[in-house]
Structure 1
Amino acid sequence: MTTTRFLFYLLCVACSICSWNICSAQTTNIKNNTQQKTVAFGNDKIRIILDYNKKANISSLHINGQQVIQSDAGVYSKIRTKETSYSTLHLSSDPTVKVSNNIISVAGIHYGDHALSIDETWTFTINNSDIKFDIDRTLSKAIVAEQVGFPVFMFKSMDVWEGAYPDYGGLAWFYLFNKKLDTYGVHSSTSDFWNSKTGNGLTVAVTAPGKQIAMDYSRTADDRLAYTLAISPSEMQPRFDAGTNRRRYVRDTTDVWAPFQISAGKSNQRITLSYFDFEAKFGRGNLVGINGEQVSAVLNTIARIGVIDKEHFGGNSWHTPYGPICLHEQYIAQLGLAINDNNYLKGYQQCLDFYRDNAIKPDGRVWPRWAYSNEDAMPQGFTDKGFYEAQWGYLLDSNPDFVTNVAELYNQTGDLPWVKTHQASCEKALDWIINRDTNDNGLVEMMTDSHKQKRGSDWIDIIWAAHENAFVNAKLYYALVLWADIEKQLGNTTKEKYYTAFAGKLKDNFNKPVSAGGFWDADKKCYIHWRDKDGSVHGNNMVTPVNFMAIAYGICDDDNRTKTILDDIELQMQKESLFFWPICLYSYAPGEGNDWQFPFPNYENGDLFLSWGAVAVRAYASYKPELALKYVKNVLAQYAKDGLAFQRYGRAKQDGLGDDILSGNSLSAVGLYQAIYGINPLYNRFYLDPHITEALAGTQVKYNYRHQRLTIDLAMGRYAVSNGRFKITAKTNFGFFSDDKDLFYFHGGVSSASLKVSTTPKGALALDVKKWGRDEIAFAQSSADVVSNKLMYKVNDLRADHYYSVLINGKLLKRIKSDGEGGLVFEYKSGKGVDEIVVLKE
């Protein structure tokens, strides 16, 4: 035997032994007790006991050593018709179990009666990372099912898991299941069950070719958690309410879904069970100077509860009695920035597609709300899909808010083909409201001329804002600025210029004093809420959302005005010792709102609505970040007391009021991420613009951006972003982006790359930017790419047609003349250690 053949023989033997050991390990991991008729099996993270003693069910399930199912029921199949119920818990004979390597087959699962026969075969495939559970099912005849469990998971208690994330990024939060038989149904093919205290997570992923998948979560009569899967030929429909059939959350029953027909014959499905570490998957890093557990808890729960179901994203919880979604909320995409889950972003894309196709009238008017029922709608002012005009008035901020949400979601995903599918609808929505500027002053007008008509026109819906409304116009300005930039990217410079020009006119007139037709009240030192058609001024009682938006959205660029507004608000906050900003500091005048809101403070006339936390934090962050941080901490402290499970807080007692729970209660934490940590994912870069305090120095945030896991380090005057291969450190705000071999640095807030460095596909590079100007740039670099190709540098932002010297560690590399756009290119093979690179104008 030659040496080569002998080595090949040894390799084959080794492979055979290795293969046998793997299969042997998997086989010995399966214990079939034929006397007790149980099979124990699993992998390192998931352990299962299957019971086949005249039944077929999983009676025990351990996840990472924690028992989450321990029951005679456990995991099993069931079908309920009007006449009777059938399940795999009651079989006339024992199933047959076969074990082959890592596969367990359970055949002969027969249940039913003379009227209906159901046959199932269960197959379990044990892998190192998951366990696949296949069910092949045959029905003897077609039936109408009242309820199915394909299968049911009966977890041992309600507190085994804190919640479950469906595949579109929402949340079944079991904290809200406060009554027995509470049930919540969703259209999803996946549930990520999690518990932040144990750190354990279980993903249940379902596939069923040619079928639709729904699931529901129930608190049982004996306080266990029932998780039920439904596989159906068409999308499952909610059972309630009569005439609408849109309700996803029901009380006192587990029948959330309407009856549906199942055909006779065969079907199959696969359930994949896999473990995840909660901290590894959803951890947020080391948040110094603030309670990171509370930040994480608020963003993992409160921020998501406005997602009612696939295609139904809003701010009001699915737990709310009539389940409204307000399309006139501009921060639903913004929530995704801090939720930081790609499933939420993908889910909201699908939702906005649904809104585009169903919530915009032919003339461009955006329906402002959706709900389980029609009780909040104007008479005949609703659609069969559930969208409607609210009984309180025509809430016109839905038009700009739809556009803002599309634009901000696009910035987070960078999905240009997707946003192009929204170009026509966003233009239609903007043009509809722009055309309401009948006097050509850049300020659009509401559907009412006077507060005496007693109709709302914005989010503060029972304050009778009329005619020219600063609240709506501020939102419109923000939408126009965002969308004009997208029109530019889409190549429509005509629309870009049109929207930019209108935004400019709006801003100019918004800032004019009330005596000149604007919104600035110099006597009251604030922007007013609205002016009636007769010129009378209303809402000069420091309406905080109006004034915060004016500052945060860049309408107010007068530093003295900004200082005056923010200082006056803080002075009143200290006088009253309020933990959060009220919706207005002082009372609206009699007649300016619904009568029951008087005397002040009451509801929208003075109470504390946490939904305006992000815009408030943003307004304060660049002025006095310590104040922005103070109120973020206050909200977190309130979360520790009561879970923020309220609509609002009363002004007098600062107590939680209202069962209309709002996901907007999380927006102060969103503001922490966006305005204080400065995390702003944009369509072509990750933009970092921090406004931290000394107390936060040393914070390290873990952040998901375009399928990369970024590490963001924040120190005073020194910030860094890294993805493991590439890292940029700078003293000021900057943008970061990388692909397979290129690293891009964006200086400050510029939208095009200031520096591009090309490496090899597996090269690594760290840049420390010291100085960046048109006449001189300086940065230090360290590279792991020291034995491969040269690094290629493309420098921009320089003076056009000028000579520059490129110096490496103080020595001249070469002289280069910049091109007509101020760019130049050079190569350099980096050595070991740190290189100091300077590009200096001669």
Structure 2
Amino acid sequence: MRMKHYPLHLFCILYFIGSWNDCFSQPARIVHDTQQKTVAFGNDRIKITLDYNKTANISSLTLNDQPVIQGSAGVYSKIRTKESSYTTLHLATDPTVTVSGNVISVVGIRYGDPALSIDETWTFTISSSDIKFDIDRTMSKAIVVEQVGFPVFMFNSMDTWEGAYQDYGGLAWFYLFNKKLDTYGVHSSASDFWNSKTGNGLTVSVTAPGQQIAMDYSRTADDKLAYTLAVSPTEMQPRFDPGTNRRRYVRDTTDVWAPFQISAGKSSQRITLSYFDFEAKFGRGKLAGIHQGQVSAVLNTIARIGVIDKEHFGGNSWHTPYGPICLHEQYIAQMGLAINDNNYLKGYQQCLDFYRDHAIKPDGRVWPRWAYSNEDAMPQGFTDKGFYEAQWGYLLDSNPDFVTNVAELYNQTGDLPWVKTHQASCEKALDWIIQRDTNGNGLVEMMTDSHKQKRGSDWIDIIWAAYENAFVNAKLYYALILWTDIEKQLGNTTKEKYYQGFAEKLKESFNKPLAAGGFWDADKKCYIHWRDKDGSTHGNNMVTPVNFMAIAYGLCDDDARRKTILDDIETQMQKENLFFWPICMYSYGAGEGNDWQFPFPNYENGDIFLSWGAVAVKAYASYKPELALKYVKNVLAQYAKDGLAFQRYGRAKQDGLGDDILSGNSLSVVGLYQAIYGINPLYNRFYLDPHITEALAGTQVRYTYRHQPLIIDLAINQYAVSNSRFKIASKTDFGFFATDKELLYFYGSSNQASLKVSTAPVGSLTLDMKKWGPDEISFTQSSKDAASSRLVYQINALHPDRYYTLLINNQTSKRIKSDNKGTLTFEHKTNKGPDEIVVLNK
């Protein structure tokens, strides 16, 4: 039978009717239908249809066989002024399309009116990894615009994606877009859209030389997701509120950005579209004994929602009505440990730089809050940048918390030049609060002397903690311990000794009994919240953050006290059958807090705030890890019920309350990572210190440390860290660090390498550490490689100037003498079979 010969465009139309994929299985990736005036193009993961029949519009975008954009309003350009609105959806004439190799050019995209002419050229360049979408734009005259879409992406529905990550580590979480026309604007040049159910992800990144980039996300009137890019000559400014213009999230309007002027003439931008597999990019490995999907979901969503915008990181969500950031929260950097996204770390570095430059007063006082509006501020107690003193009192924990966040972020990045830029500001913040110890007892004093002045002084802001506040002093101790180590690294021994000395004095006074001026209440068997200047003591109602911090931060090193505190809390937890630890176990006394919180339990007088989950998990992990895990699982179960999108939970009904959504609701899961899995990235090593239970045995965590993918294997009394070449296993805690040519092992919590192995830049090596001490060291060495390579071992922290015997597989190899620093070196080759290496002081 003779086959009919169809024109190419009709041949492909027949293919499209049968199967879009069939057409794309042909060698050509671009199909230009001149009669229908469409161009279909793409790569293995992204397929696009461009319409140019008196329009310029991407009418279809399919990602890994999932249609994410379909319709006449797909991807298009838009400009709206006060008088008119112009788009590329309706053109007077057809654009001209040419195809050359893997490049599609669309010229003559003209829209506007007699008074304003906009001319665009679109160029698409297709590769196997991405599609580049260039827009060159010419404006006939300068205009002031109300809104632009350069371009607008109209996704099929709000459910197409779960969220979008920004280039600084923030998140637009579409679960929170619960009303039509809800809009969220950010200063970002990229969005990673993702859906954990489909596994598909789409990265949209934008470059525009000489211009500023912003983007916003809106729920449309017909429940679609409008994603709008803005390119402007200067940084886009928020439109609301009057007098502040800081609000990033708005209701009932898509106008999140203020009007701005576009100059006449030419401009250009590039949009790069690329696919990613959600599990490959954000997967967390194999988490045994716990709901892996819920762990991932909490860290993917709740943990990030306190990132309001570039340079604005905190614990309160961008969705919160007045959008506050509490600089008196010490755990914002800590959340990065479990989020485990380098964009978050880089973004928070920029944020802390912004806080250093704008949130510290000349005398060293750190402004405790920032917000969209000034409604929460003391009269005249705010800056033009939005930082302020809260109306509830002088919340002094902002000073140590700024330092803690700088120090903990530095531990995760290892960026010594960056932390040096914060040395002066951190010293100033610490010195300001240390100088508030006017009586010389090592405990700093608040701005109020008595609870009767009815002013707060810490995170629990409407409890009237005054004078010597255990909550603030515990945070100060932790900041001093962290910063002392950094002063040592920066070579400032004077400050190192000063801060170390003050920390020791603080700890001594903190632990004294009440009668001796300390915080330990032997009758109530807990640390109290504060002491008034008149000597009266307050908050002996087992305030959980105070007592958990005392244990987790190392203030309380009395085993009997730790056991009593933790056991007493758990007894009451079981009695009330609470799913999570409340902010205090019993009621504050009359007059110790804002009156409307009484009778107990109500708000800060007894409700459940999840933000203290990380210190609680850490406090329990080394004592009874099964209890720590129990409450982590409870939080995950709660997430499955309600998304944790609340400020707190009521004590009586354990129901979600408050629209002031806190990213701190994720902190028990952060505690899972840090205290139970034992994942602690430090400035010079990856430190692993697990406290797992039988249920968690077999866990294999995927983790990225300094851009290096790691696998953390956790079994009972057997832990391992590995990268693509090296692996270290141990029965106890240890540190790991590797480069192309070196593998470092740190025994226990030591911050100096105990063993350094120099290797060739190829090949594998596994070390299984058996015993480590100055008199005897033993480990096994093995390799997956057939060919052997030369290894140079350097062992440190031995006895100086001593002879040691080296045994290989129970055979004496040689006698080696350590140098005057206690270091010895020897060579050995890799071997596929395990070689047992022993070094003995004899």
1:274-293 equivalent positions in 2, closer than 5 A: 274-293=274-293
Query: 1:441 corresponds to which letter in structure 2?
Result: N
Contact 2:765 2:830 in 1 (8 A): no
Query: 1:585 corresponds to which letter in structure 2?
Result: M
Look up the SS of the partner of 1:288 in the other structure: coil
What is the alpha-carbon distance in structure 2 between the residues aligned to residue 764 and residue 117 of structure 1? 63
Write the deviation string for residues 298-352 of structure 1: whole angstroms up to 9, x where unpaired. Answer: 0000000000000000000000000000000000000000000000000000000
Q: How many residues align?
A: 819
More off after superposition, 766-775 vs 307-316: 766-775
Residue aligning to 2:817: 817
Contact 1:57 1:75 in 2 (8 A): yes
What is the alpha-carbon distance in structure 2 between the residues aligned to residue 148 and residue 309 of structure 1? 20
Deviation at 1:562, TM superposition (A): 0.1
What is the alpha-carbon distance in structure 2 between the residues aligned to residue 56 and residue 571 of structure 1? 67
| Distance change >3 Å, CA 507–CA 283, structure 1 → 2 | same
Write the deviation string for residues 173-194 of structure 1: whole angstroms up to 9, x where unpaired. Answer: 0000000000000000000000
1:646-665 equivalent positions in 2, closer than 5 A: 646-665=646-665
Look up the SS of the partner of 1:826 in the other structure: strand
Query: 1:616 corresponds to which letter in structure 2?
Result: A
Residue aligning to 1:562: 562
Identity of paired residues, percent?
84
Residue aligning to 1:83: 83
Residue aligning to 1:21: none
Query: 1:398 corresponds to which letter in structure 2?
Result: S
Residue aligning to 2:386: 386
Write the deviation string for residues 666-698 of structure 1: whole angstroms up to 9, x where unpaired. Answer: 000000000000000000000000000000000
Write the deviation string for residues 207-264 of structure 1: whole angstroms up to 9, x where unpaired. Answer: 0000000000000000000000000001000000000000000000000000000000
- Indicate yes or no: 2:328 matched with 1:328: yes
Query: 2:344 corresponds to which letter in structure 1?
Result: Y
Contact 1:760 1:788 in 2 (8 A): no
What is the alpha-carbon distance in structure 2 between the residues aligned to residue 229 and residue 787 of structure 1? 54
What is the alpha-carbon distance in structure 2 between the residues aligned to residue 829 and residue 570 of structure 1? 53
What is the alpha-carbon distance in structure 2 between the residues aligned to residue 627 and residue 702 of structure 1? 25
- Indicate yes or no: 2:507 matched with 1:507: yes
Deviation at 1:295, TM superposition (A): 0.3
Q: Which 5+ residue runs of structure 1 have no aligned equivalent?
A: 1-23
What is the alpha-carbon distance in structure 2 between the residues aligned to residue 595 and residue 814 of structure 1? 77
Contact 2:788 2:830 in 1 (8 A): no
Query: 1:289 corresponds to which letter in structure 2?
Result: G
What is the alpha-carbon distance in structure 2 between the residues aligned to residue 190 and residue 679 of structure 1? 29
Deviation at 1:724, TM superposition (A): 1.4
Residue aligning to 1:731: 731
Contact 1:26 1:101 in 2 (8 A): no
Residue aligning to 2:675: 675
Look up the SS of the partner of 1:98 in the other structure: strand
Look up the SS of the partner of 1:138 in the other structure: strand
- Indicate yes or no: 2:67 matched with 1:67: yes
RMSD over equivalenced CA pairs, Å: 0.9
Contact 2:785 2:832 in 1 (8 A): no
What is the alpha-carbon distance in structure 2 between the residues aligned to residue 27 and residue 793 of structure 1? 54
Contact 1:612 1:664 in 2 (8 A): yes
What is the alpha-carbon distance in structure 1 between the residues aligned to residue 787 and residue 275 of structure 2? 40
What is the alpha-carbon distance in structure 2 between the residues aligned to residue 171 and residue 162 of structure 1? 10
Deviation at 1:787, TM superposition (A): 4.0
What is the alpha-carbon distance in structure 2 between the residues aligned to residue 303 and residue 521 of structure 1? 35
| Distance change >3 Å, CA 636–CA 507, structure 1 → 2 | same
What is the alpha-carbon distance in structure 1 between the residues aligned to residue 394 and residue 213 of structure 2? 37
Residue aligning to 1:580: 580
Deviation at 1:833, TM superposition (A): 1.6
1:774-789 equivalent positions in 2, closer than 5 A: 774-784=774-784, 787=787, 789=789
Query: 1:718 corresponds to which letter in structure 2?
Result: Q
What is the alpha-carbon distance in structure 2 between the residues aligned to residue 147 and residue 438 of structure 1? 56
Deviation at 1:831, TM superposition (A): 3.0
Query: 2:76 corresponds to which letter in structure 1?
Result: Y
Contact 2:789 2:830 in 1 (8 A): no
What is the alpha-carbon distance in structure 2 between the residues aligned to residue 260 and residue 722 of structure 1? 52
What is the alpha-carbon distance in structure 2 between the residues aligned to residue 821 and residue 184 of structure 1? 59
Deviation at 1:763, TM superposition (A): 2.7
What is the alpha-carbon distance in structure 2 between the residues aligned to residue 254 and residue 537 of structure 1? 52
Look up the SS of the partner of 2:768 in the other structure: strand
What is the alpha-carbon distance in structure 1 between the residues aligned to residue 784 and residue 627 of structure 2? 42
Q: Which 5+ residue runs of structure 2 have no aligned equivalent?
A: 1-23
- Indicate yes or no: 2:447 matched with 1:443: no
Contact 1:450 1:467 in 2 (8 A): yes
Contact 1:26 1:126 in 2 (8 A): no
1:131-530 equivalent positions in 2, closer than 5 A: 131-530=131-530
Residue aligning to 1:630: 630
Write the deviation string for residues 100-125 of structure 1: whole angstroms up to 9, x where unpaired. Answer: 11000001101111110000000000
Residue aligning to 2:10: none
Deviation at 1:832, TM superposition (A): 3.2
What is the alpha-carbon distance in structure 2 between the residues aligned to residue 453 and residue 822 of structure 1? 60
What is the alpha-carbon distance in structure 1 between the residues aligned to residue 714 and residue 224 of structure 2? 44
Write the deviation string for residues 145-183 of structure 1: whole angstroms up to 9, x where unpaired. Answer: 100000000001000000000000010000000000000
Deviation at 1:25, TM superposition (A): 8.7
What is the alpha-carbon distance in structure 1 between the residues aligned to residue 26 and residue 730 of structure 2? 51
Residue aligning to 1:18: none
What is the alpha-carbon distance in structure 1 between the residues aligned to residue 530 and residue 137 of structure 2? 63
1:761-776 equivalent positions in 2, closer than 5 A: 761-776=761-776
1:23-38 equivalent positions in 2, closer than 5 A: 28-38=28-38
Contact 2:327 2:401 in 1 (8 A): yes
Residue aligning to 1:15: none
Query: 1:555 corresponds to which letter in structure 2?
Result: L
Residue aligning to 1:12: none
More off after superposition, 815-824 vs 251-260: 815-824
- Indicate yes or no: 2:522 matched with 1:544: no
Write the deviation string for residues 537-580 of structure 1: whole angstroms up to 9, x where unpaired. Answer: 00000000000000000000000000000000000000000000
What is the alpha-carbon distance in structure 1 between the residues aligned to residue 644 and residue 219 of structure 2? 22
What is the alpha-carbon distance in structure 2 between the residues aligned to residue 455 and residue 763 of structure 1? 63
Contact 2:781 2:831 in 1 (8 A): no
Contact 1:356 1:422 in 2 (8 A): yes
Deviation at 1:783, TM superposition (A): 2.7
Contact 1:27 1:101 in 2 (8 A): no
- Structure 2-normalised TM-score? 0.97
Residue aligning to 2:7: none
What is the alpha-carbon distance in structure 2 between the residues aligned to residue 525 and residue 391 of structure 1? 33
1:786-805 equivalent positions in 2, closer than 5 A: 787=787, 789-805=789-805
1:101-140 equivalent positions in 2, closer than 5 A: 101-140=101-140
Contact 1:786 1:830 in 2 (8 A): no
Look up the SS of the partner of 2:583 in the other structure: coil
What is the alpha-carbon distance in structure 2 between the residues aligned to residue 682 and residue 26 of structure 1? 51
Query: 2:47 corresponds to which letter in structure 1?
Result: R
What is the alpha-carbon distance in structure 2 between the residues aligned to residue 811 and residue 619 of structure 1? 46
Write the deviation string for residues 83-140 of structure 1: whole angstroms up to 9, x where unpaired. Answer: 1011100100000010011000001101111110000000000000000000000000
Query: 1:102 corresponds to which letter in structure 2?
Result: N
Contact 1:108 1:121 in 2 (8 A): yes
Query: 2:322 corresponds to which letter in structure 1?
Result: Y
What is the alpha-carbon distance in structure 2 between the residues aligned to residue 655 and residue 831 of structure 1? 60
What is the alpha-carbon distance in structure 2 between the residues aligned to residue 394 and residue 763 of structure 1? 58
Look up the SS of the partner of 2:154 in the other structure: strand
Write the deviation string for residues 645-666 of structure 1: whole angstroms up to 9, x where unpaired. Answer: 0000000000000000000000
Look up the SS of the partner of 1:375 in the other structure: coil
What is the alpha-carbon distance in structure 2 between the residues aligned to residue 568 and residue 91 of structure 1? 73
What is the alpha-carbon distance in structure 2 between the residues aligned to residue 782 and residue 441 of structure 1? 56
Deviation at 1:26, TM superposition (A): 8.8
Write the deviation string for residues 621-664 of structure 1: whole angstroms up to 9, x where unpaired. Answer: 00000000000000001111111000000000000000000000
Contact 1:27 1:100 in 2 (8 A): no
Deviation at 1:830, TM superposition (A): 2.6
Residue aligning to 2:3: none
What is the alpha-carbon distance in structure 1 between the residues aligned to residue 29 and residue 585 of structure 2? 67
Deviation at 1:756, TM superposition (A): 0.3
Contact 2:788 2:831 in 1 (8 A): no
Deviation at 1:761, TM superposition (A): 1.1
Look up the SS of the partner of 1:28 in the other structure: coil
- Structure 1-normalised TM-score? 0.97
What is the alpha-carbon distance in structure 2 between the residues aligned to residue 427 and residue 689 of structure 1? 30
